[in-house]
Structures are given as C-alpha cells and as structure tokens.
Amino acid sequence: MEKIKVLVIFGGKSGEHDVSLISSASIMKAMKKDKYEIVPVGITRDGVWKKYNGSLEVIDPNKWEEETESYSINNLFGYKANKEIDVVFPVLHGPYGEDGTIQGLLEMADIPYVGTGVLASAVAMDKVIAKVMLKSVNIPQAEFAVVFRSEYKKNANKVLDEIEAKFNYPVFVKPANLGSSVGISKAKDRAGLINALDEAGKFDRKIVVEEFIDGREIECAVLGNEEPKASLPAEVVPSHEFYNYQDKYLDGKSELIIPARLDEAMMTKVRELAIDVYKLYDCRGLSRVDFFLERNTNKILVNEVNTMPGFTSISMYPKMWEATGLAYSDLIDQLIDLAIDFYNTK
C-alpha cells in the first residue's frame, strides 16, 4: 500500500516556537513509518520555511536550521498536481499557528490538514472573544476584565485602580493570544500586578485579568469532527503556584492524575461540557478543554480551549486518550483520518 505523505510543520514565529519543536518531534517519532512518509518542514522565528533533514527524534532549537534546505510554500498550492503531500499536520502552538492564520493558508491551498478550522482557531486563541462567546450562552467561567496595552501605557494608575475595584487579590494576568502558560502571572498585590501587566504586554496588545479561583485544575481531551468524543478527564496538581510553562515542558514535576478523582456524575458533566464548548466554537479534529472545579462549591468553570494542545511525551492531551484506551500512535492515525475525511466531505 502506498504511504500517506504527511507534511509536518513545526517551529513558527510565536513565543511557543520551542514547544512546537518538542511536540512535533514526539509526533514524528510515534508516527507509523510503514504507513506514513513524513515530510518535516520548519518555520524559523523570522517566518522562513525550511525543509528539515535532521533527526526526527529530537529537534534542537538552537541547531535545527543548520540541517535544512529551502522550501517554497508554493509546493502546498501545487499539491494536487504533483502529490508531494496528502495531508498537513501543523504542529504549531500560539500565534501564526493556532490562531487561524496557518489554517487560512491551508484552506487557500485547498489541502487537508489536521486540526480545527480558521474561525474556531481564531476564537479559541483570543481569550477575550472566547470568553465573550462563553458568556453569551451562560457557560460558567471566572470573572474577567480586558486591558489594552496602549491604554495601560497612557494611564497606568487609572487601569490599576479599575482592576483593584473589580477584583480582590490575587488575580491572574494573561496575554489574550498565547498558550502554554507563556506570559501568565499571578499577582498578589499592586506591585505584582504592575509586573504581571508588563510581562503579558510583552506578548500581546490585549491582556486578560481574571479573578482567582480556588479550584482544582481539570482537563478533558476532545476528538472528532461532526460527532466528537471526550476522553476521561484528568487533574493537574501543579508543582508551582499554577500549571506554568516550566511545569508543562521543563520540570515534569506536576502530578498528573488520570483519570481525575471525580465521582461519576461530575465525570459525565465535565465530558459533556467539554463537547458543548467544542461545538460552540465549531472545533474539529482535536482540542483540549480546561476547567476549574471550585473547592468550596464544587462548581465547574471553563478556563480555556486549546485547539493544538501540547503533544510532548508528558502532555495531557495524548495521556488522557491513552487512559481512555487510545494509544498515542493510534491517536495520530485518527487525527490524520479526521483531516482527510473532513476534506472529502465538506
């Protein structure tokens, strides 16, 4: 049987460039070599596309560009004629990869690709728009406020006063358009808030401030197109004050409890709510839906949706499916099948 030619795209211009390298190496290592012909293409931090000829086991963030040759994106637009590739797997996190931009390019190229489409990618990436959509259908979430970097620079004291009037400390401060906990801080006082706003402002012109939720961190993986399914939920017990970048990708010291320690009713509620949010955003392929479970009230709150969640060896999305009975390599098979099926039936 002829192998399926899969173009795996990694890297990118976002602050999550290194995360993408780790995820893509893990995916390519697990792909069934008798089933797939892998075409690895990296995007540099400057946005230059390069065909990668190095090891697929580990992609060194400091050296991978030394093992490349030039690659033209015109190859994508000619794929029907030359069949260089059958499907694209964009393993890109954050802006320019998870926000609808690469998805728009692939739509223009008229080529199947893994993951959700332009609109859902853009909505889920923008925490402000995502929260407004949740609010529109009364899905419970943490209270939030939006700060524009330009307004904060013009009148910092006014912005700080407004935040302190709305929330008690501590608060969480996040860039609106980023993932993998990059740029997120927990502010415990005004000095911390100033530092947090400055940090988030390095990554985005739009910043989200959220109330602190004393809750357990619950996650649920969703897989599918028109009839999505939810995995067994998992619980993250951070080794730091919250599940930050170091926890996710460097230390691996957080306790990951799969399945989460929930009673059957709450387990069902989380899975159903994950699918509801997935459908609300019109996701397809895959997404991870993150929740807070309030300790005092046992109320479940939606935190955020990741349309291209981390796929490293310690990432929650594949681990949840593994616990649900779907092995890592079989999960990759399903994602590629879903991409081709959607393309053939749209």
CA distance 186 to 173: 6
For 7-58, how does the pLDDT look when each residue is reduced to its tens digit (9 = 90+)? Answer: 999 999 987 899 899 999 999 999 999 999 999 999 999 999 999 999 998 9
Q: What percent of the chain has pLDDT over 70?
A: 93
Of 85-99, 164-178, 245-259, 283-297, the least confident: 245-259
Indicate whether 82 pLDDT > 70.
no
Indicate whether 246 pLDDT > 60.
no
- Binning pLDDT at 50, 70 and 90, where does residue 179 land? low
Return the pLDDT at 177.
Answer: 82
Q: What percent of the chain has pLDDT over 90?
A: 82
Pairing of strands 4-11, 36-43: parallel
Indicate whether 346 pLDDT > 50.
yes
Burial of 261 (0-12, 13-18, 19+ CB in 10 A): exposed
Element (H, E) at 59: none
Locate all alpha helices (DSSP H) within the chain, ordered by sequence. 17-30, 74-77, 79-82, 101-109, 118-125, 127-136, 149-154, 156-166, 190-201, 245, 264-280, 316-324, 328-345
Residue-range domains of the chain with CATH: 4-113 (3.40.50.20), 124-140+214-345 (3.30.470.20), 144-211 (3.30.1490.20)
- Determine the average pLDDT of the residues in 311-318: 86
Indicate whether 249 pLDDT > 50.
no
Indicate whether 244 pLDDT > 90.
no
For 181-232, how does the pLDDT look when each residue is reduced to its tens digit (9 = 90+)? Answer: 678 999 999 999 999 999 999 989 999 999 999 999 999 999 999 999 999 9
Pick the closest to residue 281 from 63, 108, 131 (CA basis).
131
- Determine the average pLDDT of the residues in 287-302: 97
Burial of 188 (0-12, 13-18, 19+ CB in 10 A): middle
Return the pLDDT at 14.
Answer: 86
Return the pLDDT at 241.
Answer: 60
| Residue 270 vs residues 76, 107, 157, 231: alpha-carbon distances, Å | 39, 32, 40, 10
- Determine the average pLDDT of the residues in 68-97: 86
Return the pLDDT at 252.
Answer: 56
Indicate whether 242 pLDDT > 60.
no
- The structure tokens 């959509």 sit at 133
Return the pLDDT at 33.
Answer: 94
Return the pLDDT at 95.
Answer: 85
- Binning pLDDT at 50, 70 and 90, where does residue 168 land? very high
State the average pLDDT for the chain: 92
